[in-house]
A = this chain, B = another copy of it.
Amino acid sequence: MTRSITYTGLRGIPMVRPDDDLVSIIADGLTSAGIEVASGDIFVVAQKIVSKAENRYVDLDDVSPSARALELAKTVGKDPRHIEVVLSESSEVIRSRQNVIIVAHRLGFVMANAGIDQSNIDQGHSHRVLLLPKDPDDSCERLKSGLDQRFGVNVAVVMNDSFGRPWRNGVVGVAIGCAGLPALQNMIGEPDLFGRPMQVTEIAVADGLAAAASLVMGQAAEGQPIVHVRGLSCQAPAKPASVLVRPKEQDLFR
């Protein structure tokens, strides 16, 4: 018995606009791809399309930068209004210097620009920026419920975004939301092949899925922002992506 995991990017996904129904968009994408959903299937959706559907746009013309944003904007070399939005989405600035602002997002994720950027946002609104969804785990739950109901199945949903990392060049896909599968799978106590207790205790399953799906999405994520995944078997109980956030007091790298 050969075991495979297959990631299929759904083509022809339209530009997503505020209040669009992502369940219907996914359903149409599946029909185009000739895929019949089954229980155990996973959907990885790009953060940007969820943010757009949830109308998480902010018009910079409506933003008044604080004194702190003005100051930080000098260091970073960006529009102070943009920095103000970044700060409003963050609990802490971790590092800042020319062209770099790394924060702890209010959701706990340590990331550049609080996940806000201007690429792949429609022209004609050059002053608009797009925030992360308010509660990505909840967005995934709602998508999962919608898909489960529509197709009479039990699927999982992961929301991904591209993150830079310390120590390593390049970005990888990372999970910022998860429903229906264990974002983190605990291996404590499971023996290795020789019966010794495992030294590595937890696997970031949702991050692995997010990274794999990013390769399918390509970098212009809007071209193929929904990836259907089949073949991963997860017995462990479902856990949201919030469990992937390491508590600050356990972190050696702040």
Contacts and interface: CB of A to CB of B under 8 A. Distances in A.
Interface of A: 1-9, 11, 33-35, 95, 97, 100, 102, 109-110, 117-123, 162, 165-174, 184-185, 187, 190, 192-200, 202-205, 207-209, 211-212, 214-216, 219-220, 222-224, 232, 243-246, 251-253
A174 B167 CA distance: 12
A184 B166 contact: no
A220 B192 CA distance: 6
A245 B208 contact: no
> For the complex formed by this chain, how many copies does it contain in all?
2
B169 A202 contact: yes
Nearest to A174: B168
B9 A166 contact: no
A8 B214 CA distance: 18
6 closest A-B pairs by CB: A170-B204, A212-B212, A166-B253, A211-B211, A110-B167, A4-B8
Centre residue among A119, A162, A168, A232 by max chain B CB count within 10 A: A168
A167 B11 contact: no
B5 A196 contact: no
Contacts of A220: 190, 192-193, 198
Contacts of A118: 196, 199
